[in-house]
Structure 1
Amino acid sequence: MQTLIDARNEARRGAFARQMLIWDEVIYSDGMLGMLYSRMIESVSMQGWKIDAANDSAEAQAQKAALEDFYNSINGLQTAFGQLASAVFYGYAHLQFVEDAWGRRFEFIPQRYWVRPGELNNWQFNPQVHIGVDTGESVEDEILVVMEHPYPILFPASRASFERNHAKITWDNHMDRYGSAPVIITAPKDASAAVMDALERACDELKSGASVVLPPGCTAEPLKASAINENYFLSRVNLADKDQVRFVMAGTLTVLNESGSGTLAGSAHTDSWNSVVSAVCSKVA
């Protein structure tokens, strides 16, 4: 927990390396969040683009044609759009314009390589990804395309990821310790010391999920869980999953239904996702 606090405090002053490395690991290791991230980037990359002329004048049309020729000459332009959209998750994204023997292209430089000593200062390059530093090498602004997003999705979504992992670990520890469901064993009123010893051994065996044979006159009854406590750990994991989807989809609940399910909710899923992708594309543009 202290590492997360340190990372957040460093990021507030422009030393982003630790925060970005943590978020990279969350994206790579969290199946749900990684899927949402990949799908968003791919969806934006698949969108088309066009140049609109300012008016119908010959000069405006000539400018439009020149811009279309230029952008059509850039290799992997739509892929670059998707990479720029990663700012919605991380808070910022940088593309560097490169023109060499391989042609024209925008190269994506991952978030962990950037620092900024204050919001009013220019971005700087941190090639060694030094932790805790907020200054680096100067970069020409003319060759950079930068997108910033003030409320990165990964800030709350990574918390939901940690909460899910904690629920899973607690669940595993619970099963390792108790095994089968809790059981109440009732001993006879006049149970001897030998019978009580046998019952204690039975309790130990039940913790490992083993089957036991009780002495005559003893009864065992599984502890009945209330509706609130039943499947508590699974409910906690599912809640974290839903939280992540809500963070990505800006609170849209309909996306929790399967797309193409033939229901109104399924259609709403697709509509909601398309709306979010369109909103992200408008920011990229």
Structure 2
Amino acid sequence: MPEETRSGFVTFVGRPNVGKSTLTNALVGEKVAITSDKPQTTRRAIRGILNRPAGQLVIVDTPGLHKPRTLLGQRLNDLVEQVLGDVDVIGFCVPATEKVGPGDRRIAESLDGYRRAKKVAIVTKTDAATRDQITERLLEVDGLREDWAAVIPLSALGDEQLDVLTDELLTLMPAGPALYPDGVVTDESTEDRIAEIIREAALDGVRDELPHSIAVVVQDVAPREGSDLTDIYADIVVERDSQKAIIIGRKGSRLRDVGARARAGIEPLVGGRVFLSLHVRVAKEWQRDPKQLGRLGF
């Protein structure tokens, strides 16, 4: 008799930039969520799918919980709360390199509101921490709640303990068949993945408020007739003319760099060479404007 398979949904929560998207990509084994050292890089609920003989994990990568300062920020928090209410397991992430602080405690306490989900504590970034730091963090995290199903230290970059986490998460899932066909790694559309790759390239090297002001809209993706090229036209949207100038750079140098980095990520995704046309446009204060947010998909 074959063993009973388990399948279900897990999401990782924590302060912005604790390594949730990196962990999602490492578990799936393919880049499905963009990563950056900028807080609030993730803006949608992105599903990555992990298949094992024992079952299937659907990992929902969400924005980091934060105190919202704009309508976009509030909508991202609302999205996280909706996901938390629907998943089977919540993984609470704390980096091994930083002491547990008030933000971590607030998020850990907020998990009381999601009673149906089992909770796992995950200490991330152990590759960058000393043994003493890891021990200290495990003790701090263990003391945040009494109902952890497990407390697991790991490094997504070093592939340390990822199998331990996968096995633990699968044992906590409900019994049932796979939710997605074998071979599917995400339910994101190709256009959405292209937009995210471009945004990741645009985020690289920008400072201060600009990361929050960048959105990307893919206008068209089409194979070129009589060629192996795929033509892609996309808009990089910012909030102010001064930000547009930063993205474009001196004589267009920065925009060319963004295009080159984005192409390198897009070509493996579409399976061939890409002609990428990027246009930078201004949508004033789009993060605070309900109509603009709707047009940009938020």
Question: What's the TM-score bracket when you normalise by the shorter of the two chains?
Answer: under 0.3
TM-score, normalised via structure 2 length = 0.26
Instruction: Point out the structure with the larger helix share.
Output: 1
Instruction: Point out the structure with the larger strand share.
Output: 2
TM-score, normalised via structure 1 length = 0.27
Q: Between Structure 1 and Structure 2, whose CA radius of gyration is higher? A: 1
